[in-house]
Structure 1
Amino acid sequence: MASSGSMKKMNLACVVLMMMIMSNIAPQAHALGCPDVLAYLRPCISYLTGGGAGAIPYPCCAGVGSLNNAARTTPDRKTACVCLKSLSGSLPPRSVAAAAGIPGKCRVNVPYKIDPRTDCSKVV
């Protein structure tokens, strides 16, 4: 029969082994990229192509909020800014104005303006 000390060591080894296995199975966080930004904002396309006419669809606001929550680090916020800046540069002026107004209408505090002239290097 094993001694109490060796049983404790064996139990500790099992716990450490399980933690190592779980850390390899657990999903790893990844940096935010433009495909992620597009996925979050896909529900806003109809609103933007309509030039901001009508009410903002709820899924658009939910996407903006989720994107804002996903961009917690400065590098992620800068990436989101660069992606949004690039996207807004390809929109007609009326849609750019609509895009800039989405965070406020959705009551989401985005730390930069969605505009082709935004200096994303200053985003913190």
Structure 2
Amino acid sequence: MACRPVVALIAVAILVGAMAVEAQISCSQVVSYLFPCLGYVQGIQPLTSSCCNGVRSLNAAARSREDRQTTCNCLMRTAAGVQGIQPGLISGIPGKCNVAVPYPINPSADCSRIN
């Protein structure tokens, strides 16, 4: 009979773990979707359909709050490590590609506040 509380505790832990939501998108996927935009955000190439297609695909893939926060955090880290990126060009991509992104894209975004 002493095993019942332990079994119940394990069952509760499993249920709580199953309810936790994790991001389904990785930073490497984010970078892969947006790689065609690199020349544009550095100001050395025009905006391409490949870039817009990547933005559309990423927006569709980042469905949950966790996915959007992962995307935001990845963009912040990646952009900080690439020279020549022009924040004004980055923030304008969704509008130029006719993609409705549900949060602002800028270097000072607070990714924890994205819904």
* TM norm. shorter chain > 0.5: yes
Unaligned 5+ residue runs, structure 2?
1-22
- Counterpart of 1:34 in structure 2: which amino acid? C
Q: Which residue of the other structure, out of 38, 50, 68, is the alignment partner of 1:45?
A: 38
RMSD: 2.0
Post-superposition CA distance 1:54-101 (Å, at most 9, x none): 4x1000000000000000111101100111122333456761110111
Amino-acid identity (%)? 42
- Counterpart of 1:33 in structure 2: which amino acid? S
Distance 2:75 2:89 in 1: 13
- State the SS of the aligned residue for 2:102: coil
Match of residue 33 from structure 1: 26
Q: Quick check: which has more Rg, 1 or 2? A: 1
Distance 2:49 2:90 in 1: 15
TM-score (ref. length: structure 1): 0.66
- State the SS of the aligned residue for 1:103: helix
Residue 101 of structure 2 is aligned to residue 110 of structure 1: yes
Q: Which residue of the other structure, out of 61, 79, 91, is the alignment partner of 1:100?
A: 91
Unaligned 5+ residue runs, structure 1?
1-29
C-alpha contact (below 8 Å) 2:33/2:54 kept by paired residues: yes
What pairs up with 1:1-124 in 2 under 5 angstroms?
Answer: 31-50=24-43, 54=46, 56-90=47-81, 95-124=86-115
- Counterpart of 1:37 in structure 2: which amino acid? V
Post-superposition CA distance 1:91-121 (Å, at most 9, x none): 5676111011101111111122222210111
The count of residues paired between Structure 1 and Structure 2 equals 93
- Counterpart of 1:65 in structure 2: which amino acid? R
